[in-house]
Amino acid sequence: MEKGITLTRFIIEQHRRNPDLEFTELLAELTVAGKIIAREVNKAGLAVTMGLTGRTNVHGEEVQKLDEFANATIIKTTDHTGHLAGMASEEMEDIYHIPDKHPRGDYILVFDPVDGSSNIDVNVNIGTIFSIYRRKSSGSHAILEDFLRPGREQVCAGYIIYGSSTMLVYTSGQGVHGFTLDPTIGEFLLSQENITIPRRSRYYSANEGNYPRWAPEVQQYMDYLKEEDKASGRPYSARYIGSLVADFHRNLLKGGIFLYPGDAKAPQGKLRLIYEASPLAFIVEQAGGRASTGWQPILDLQPEKLHQRVPLIIGSAEDVETAERFITS
Ligand code: AHM
Ligand code: MG
């Protein structure tokens, strides 16, 4: 489609071509949440939404005011649409049930309202990650089993990145498309249709401070990345922001591999399966890349808990394959 058309029009056209995409209105509401969160992020140090709340979340992490604001904003902009039977997020211990005053629908929404929270106060890119599944249960409210689903069953996944510009990237299983917020008209406009990730890259993103705790196979892979490449005469270059969405977004466009493996202290790593790893895995596969625990595709995992963590290796297909070879050898 023509570059510069609005996200709303793009979504309507997609829906026309594939009437099965009944959740497109929900996606449109999510973009409203994205704009409201972007507005708060852009106020940076001036806003009352900056800083800590003084509470810790279900993961024992300090909750930023923006985490809470973004969580509440996403709920508020989507709970009345009639498409949802329930929601779950990084900031809520349990499932959020749609209030009885609103109609309920066939989908569930999972999200990480602000990913990379530790970067909020220092003007570094952060993001919102989301994913939509069709519910399985048929009662009046969604149940836990509706959320514990392999990532392959996602019908839509995306993220909004708050950076030098605000961008929304999503897939509904028909390619990956990127939209940039034009702040002068308040609309997301198509900037990249059918994004594909380079098959091989020269970049890696990992928190190498954890190197001493990694398994020897992971350490060997990391050592390999630092060997001089015969063709370029250079090792891989490190690029680590510490905001998953930002690291992922750069790798998606330029090529690269992101790793957050398990280690001696945290065998399942840090990142959450349902609302961090799986949505990005759906996007990367749609873009021709790969996402893995090292042993298994992320999208094949059957979650056992809502807030389950998972080792994540994601990015350019050939780089992820090489990492898998090291890890499983
Ligand atoms: P968050 O969702 O609480 O912000 O935590 C997830 C973040 C990711 O964005 C990022 O990849 C990772 O944590 C960074 O962790 P570390 O500081 O250990 O490198
Ligand atoms: Mg997160």
Task: For the chain, give every domain's residue range.
Answer: 7-192, 203-328
Name the pLDDT band for 123 (thresholds 50, 70, 90).
Answer: confident
Identify whether the C-beta of residue 218 lies closer than 8 Å to the C-beta of residue 327.
Answer: yes
Identify whether the C-beta of residue 316 lies closer than 8 Å to the C-beta of residue 200.
Answer: yes
Report CA(224)–ligand 2 centroid distance (Å): 28
Name the residue among 318, 305, 178 with its Cα closest to residue 245: 178
Q: Where are the alpha helices (DSSP H) in the chain?
A: 7-17, 24-42, 65-78, 144-147, 216-225, 244-254, 278-286, 317-328
Alpha-carbon distance of 158 to 287, in angstroms, equals 12
Name the residue among 245, 161, 259 with its Cα closest to residue 203: 259
Interval 55-108: pLDDT, tens: 677 666 666 788 899 999 999 999 999 999 999 999 999 999 999 999 999 999
Report CA(228)–ligand 2 centroid distance (Å): 33
Q: Is the CB of 263 under 6 A from ligand 1?
A: no
3-state secondary structure of 84: strand
DSSP designation for 55 = E
CB atoms within 10 A of CB 253: 16
Interval 163-182: pLDDT, tens: 889 999 999 999 999 999 99
Q: Is the CB of 61 under 6 A from ligand 1?
A: yes
Among 64, 71, 115, the mutation site with the greatest number of ligand 1 atoms within 8 A of its Cβ is 115
Among 57, 124, 260, the mutation site with the greatest number of ligand 1 atoms within 8 A of its Cβ is 260
Give the domain 203-328 fold: D-Maltodextrin-Binding Protein; domain 2 (3.40.190)
Cα torsion for 144, 159, 207, 257, to the nearest 10°? 110
Identify whether the C-beta of residue 167 lies closer than 8 Å to the C-beta of residue 160.
Answer: yes
Name the pLDDT band for 232 (thresholds 50, 70, 90).
Answer: confident
Task: Output the pTM of the full model.
Answer: 0.94
Report CA(233)–ligand 1 centroid distance (Å): 32
Pick the atom of ligand 1 nearest to 118's CA.
4
**What's residue 42's pLDDT?**
84
Alpha-carbon distance of 167 to 32, in angstroms, equals 13
Superfamily of structural domain 7-192: Fructose-1,6-Bisphosphatase, subunit A, domain 1 (3.30.540.10)
Interval 288-308: pLDDT, tens: 999 999 999 999 999 999 999
Q: Which two tokens stand for residue 261?
A: 């493996």
Beta strands in the chain (DSSP E): 52-56, 62-64, 84-89, 96-97, 107-115, 126-134, 154-162, 166-171, 176-182, 187-192, 203-206, 237-238, 257-260, 290-292, 312-315
Q: Is the CB of 116 under 6 A from ligand 1?
A: yes
Q: For residues 161 and 20, which has the higher predicted lDDT (pLDDT)?
A: 161
